[in-house]
Amino acid sequence: MYYDFRADKLREECGVFGIFSRHDDVALNTYWGLYALQHRGQESAGIAVTDGSEMEVQRGMGLVGEVFRQGLPALRGHIAIGHVRYSTTGSSLPANTQPLLVTYSGGHISLAHNGNLTNAHELRQALEKQGSVFQTSVDSEVIVNLIARSSQGTIEDKIKESLTRIKGAYCLVIMTEDKLIGVRDPHGFRPLCLGRLGGGWVIASESCALDIVGAELVRDIEPGEMVVISDAGLKSERFGQKDRKALCVFEYIYFARPDSIIDGQSVYEARFRMGQQLARESGLAADIVISVPDSGTTAALGFSRETGIPYAEGLIKNRYIGRTFIQPEQKKRDLGVRMKLNAVRHTVQGKSIIMVDDSIVRGTTSGKIVRMLKEAGAVAVHMCVSSPPIGFPCYYGIDTAVRKELIAATKQVEEIRQFIGADSLHYLSLDGLKQSITNVASDAMCYACFNCDYPAGMPACTAAGGNKYVFE
């Protein structure tokens, strides 16, 4: 398992991309789309292509540029899907890379999945008793098996029947020999959007992936919607019962790229407003405002705008360190922080500093950064966090630690401040967070990691603190 260099950040499972076009190089466009979605997963990448009779998939461990260094799938087709992964169910292994490709009585299916199923364990046990053989330890393979075993006549009906049995968070792009299908779960936990590219169509986790291939954002795929694209055009179908919409609020806080638009809300605008609201709530004064790059930068700019305190670069991020230093063992995490971030002594020396970050998970890295700034001469470091304290794990596609490792689950704010060594610590309130996201109704988002309100319930197998390796 690989971690963000800061080791204190929530990590999202993956990004998905799909394209249907008779006029474009679908493999190349998918490659570009995955580049734009690289922030959603850095463990593995893959592309599957079909020409209507054959399917070819190319997958591997590493970043998009590493996996396809020797070239893209050779098959010239009209449909392609792609995937970048960070594991939340199953280990980081070559066998768990996506898209998955299976052959069944009706032909071929390739599938890429973003999210986490809360009943995958029960479904897999039932399928194994019926004779299914699994090749991976990812919950996505459960979905493929359900589709392949369905007795329904059309692929659309097979998928819809399968979706009635799964619970949790899922955005899917599915490819058959002649159709590209996009699916978003009835709660809409994860984002999925639809774009137009000339005479073709594009489906992607975020609108930034549409931008890079020159596609126009048409709309977001709705919760509980299945979009089917073929030579006959595009059709939309509803499946399942209408559930409470619950888009993950961390898409706006941290996961999504700032230049994306999700469910009609600019991510950049939401983060900027979070910074402004945090400034109003904290009432702090200092010499400069800095961010922990890059995820805290937009909120820091909002904080600076609201207070009039100048924004400065107090921390520089080294963008050229490879994955060698991004390992989960604590010693390597410590080295990773030093290799990736360095304080700008000229900027921080003799200054009182407001340092803005998007979240604190374990607290270990925040403490190292505070010490780094003070060693560089900062006279005071006030830490401001543009989200509420994370006290509960996520079961819907985020790789959080078990609850006992979440610092806010066991410590109060003052205790956290003492642990990280900051002169003061201020979190954005939950009400302030809701006010910052102006284009999405506050009751249409999931805040479970803050308030333990799980819209789709919790997995049965949580006694050990999580179910990431439940199939191993």
Q: What is the mean pLDDT of residues 190-202?
A: 97
Q: What is the CA radius of gyration of the chain?
A: 22
pLDDT at residue 351 greater than cutoff 80? yes
- At 423, the amino acid letter reads D
In this prediction, residue 328 carries a pLDDT of 43
Q: E strand or H helix at 147, and its extent? A: helix 140-149
pLDDT digits (tens, 9 = 90+) for 203-222: 999 999 999 999 999 999 99
Residue 83 lies in a domain: yes
In this structure, the answer to whether residues 357 and 237 fall within a common structural domain is no
In this structure, the answer to whether residues 284 and 433 fall within a common structural domain is yes
In this prediction, residue 337 carries a pLDDT of 75
Active site residues: 14
Residue 231 lies in a domain: yes
Residue 259 preceded by cis peptide, ω within 30: no
In this prediction, residue 439 carries a pLDDT of 97
Tell me how many degrees the CA angle 380-385-388 measures, rounded to the nearest 5.
140
Greater confidence (212 vs 461) lies with 212
- Per-residue pLDDT band at 338 (split at 50, 70, 90): confident
Residue 279 lies in a domain: yes
pLDDT digits (tens, 9 = 90+) for 36-63: 999 999 999 999 999 999 999 999 999 9
Burial class (CB in 10 A: 0-12, 13-18, 19+), 94: exposed
| Cβ-count burial 425-444 (b if 16+ within 10 Å, e if not) | bbbbebebbbbbbeebeeeb
In this prediction, residue 331 carries a pLDDT of 52
Q: What's the Cα-to-Cα distance from 377 to each of 69, 350, 374, 422, rounded to whole Å?
A: 44, 6, 5, 14
Is 446 annotated as contributing to ligand binding?
yes
In this prediction, residue 343 carries a pLDDT of 96
In this structure, the answer to whether residues 274 and 241 fall within a common structural domain is no
pLDDT at residue 465 greater than cutoff 50? no
pLDDT at residue 90 greater than cutoff 50? no
- Read off the tokens for 277: 């609201």
What DSSP line would sit under 306-361, residue for residue? HH-PPB---EEE-TT--GGG--SSHHHHHHHHHHHEEE-HHHHTT-EEEEEES--S
- At 17, the amino acid letter reads F
Residue 421 lies in a domain: yes
pLDDT at residue 320 greater than cutoff 80? no
3-state secondary structure 382-405: EEEECCCCCCCCCCCCECCCCHHH
Between CA 336 and CA 369 the distance in angstroms is: 12
How much is the mean pLDDT over the chain? 90
Between CA 122 and CA 457 the distance in angstroms is: 14
Whether the CB-CB separation of 223 and 187 falls below 8 Å is answered with: yes
pLDDT digits (tens, 9 = 90+) for 404-447: 889 999 999 999 999 999 999 999 999 999 999 999 999 999 99
Q: DSSP assignment, residue 442?
A: G
pLDDT at residue 462 greater than cutoff 70? no
Whether the CB-CB separation of 208 and 267 falls below 8 Å is answered with: no
Residue 7 lies in a domain: no
In this prediction, residue 2 carries a pLDDT of 31
In this structure, the answer to whether residues 203 and 338 fall within a common structural domain is no
Provide the pairing of β-strand 247-248 with 233-238: unpaired
Provide the pairing of β-strand 216-220 with 261-262: unpaired
Is 171 annotated as contributing to ligand binding?
no
Domains identified in the chain, total number:
2
Domain that holds residue 116: 14-246
In this structure, the answer to whether residues 336 and 415 fall within a common structural domain is yes
In this structure, the answer to whether residues 168 and 275 fall within a common structural domain is no
Tell me how many degrees the CA angle 92-456-242 measures, rounded to the nearest 5.
120
Instruction: Look at 119-123, 171-175, 219-223, 261-265 and tell me which has the smallest mean pLDDT.
Output: 119-123
Is 243 annotated as contributing to ligand binding?
no
Between CA 457 and CA 87 the distance in angstroms is: 21
In this structure, the answer to whether residues 182 and 300 fall within a common structural domain is no
In this structure, the answer to whether residues 400 and 282 fall within a common structural domain is yes
In this prediction, residue 137 carries a pLDDT of 83
Q: What is the mean pLDDT of residues 312-316?
A: 97
Is 357 annotated as contributing to ligand binding?
yes
pLDDT at residue 353 greater than cutoff 90? yes
In this structure, the answer to whether residues 72 and 200 fall within a common structural domain is yes
Is 248 annotated as contributing to ligand binding?
yes
- Read off the tokens for 426: 């201020």
- Per-residue pLDDT band at 93 (split at 50, 70, 90): confident
Closest to 117 (Cα-Cα) out of 185, 71, 192, 51: 185
Question: Residues 288, 292, 296, 298: is their CA dihedral positive or negative?
Answer: positive
- Per-residue pLDDT band at 95 (split at 50, 70, 90): confident
CA dihedral 6, 97, 447, 407 (to 10 degrees): -30
In the chain, the N- to C-terminal Cα span, in Å, equals: 14
- Per-residue pLDDT band at 285 (split at 50, 70, 90): very high
Residue 380 lies in a domain: yes
pLDDT at residue 401 greater than cutoff 70? no
Between CA 446 and CA 459 the distance in angstroms is: 16
Residue 6 lies in a domain: no
In this prediction, residue 340 carries a pLDDT of 84
Q: State residue 117 phi and psi, 5-degree precision.
A: -85, 135
- Map tokens 């930034």 to a residue: 208
We report the CATH number of the domain holding residue 176 as 3.60.20.10
Whether the CB-CB separation of 218 and 196 falls below 8 Å is answered with: yes
In this structure, the answer to whether residues 291 and 227 fall within a common structural domain is no
pLDDT at residue 5 greater than cutoff 60? no
pLDDT at residue 89 greater than cutoff 70? no
**Global pTM value:** 0.91
Between CA 298 and CA 254 the distance in angstroms is: 10
Residue 359 lies in a domain: yes
We report the CATH number of the domain holding residue 385 as 3.40.50.2020
In this prediction, residue 460 carries a pLDDT of 66
In this structure, the answer to whether residues 146 and 291 fall within a common structural domain is no
- At 129, the amino acid letter reads K
Whether the CB-CB separation of 117 and 166 falls below 8 Å is answered with: yes
pLDDT at residue 91 greater than cutoff 60? no
| Cβ-count burial 140-159 (b if 16+ within 10 Å, e if not) | bbbbbbbbbbbeeeebbebb
Tell me how many degrees the CA angle 268-188-24 measures, rounded to the nearest 5.
70
- Read off the tokens for 387: 């989200």
- Read off the tokens for 69: 């260094």
In this structure, the answer to whether residues 56 and 177 fall within a common structural domain is yes
Q: What is the mean pLDDT of residues 175-183?
A: 98
- Per-residue pLDDT band at 339 (split at 50, 70, 90): confident
Q: What is the mean pLDDT of residues 100-108?
A: 92
Closest to 102 (Cα-Cα) out of 57, 137, 161: 57
Q: What is the mean pLDDT of residues 294-323?
A: 90
Instruction: Look at 85-99, 104-118, 242-256, 325-339 and tell me which has the smallest mean pLDDT.
Output: 325-339
- Read off the tokens for 297: 């930068």
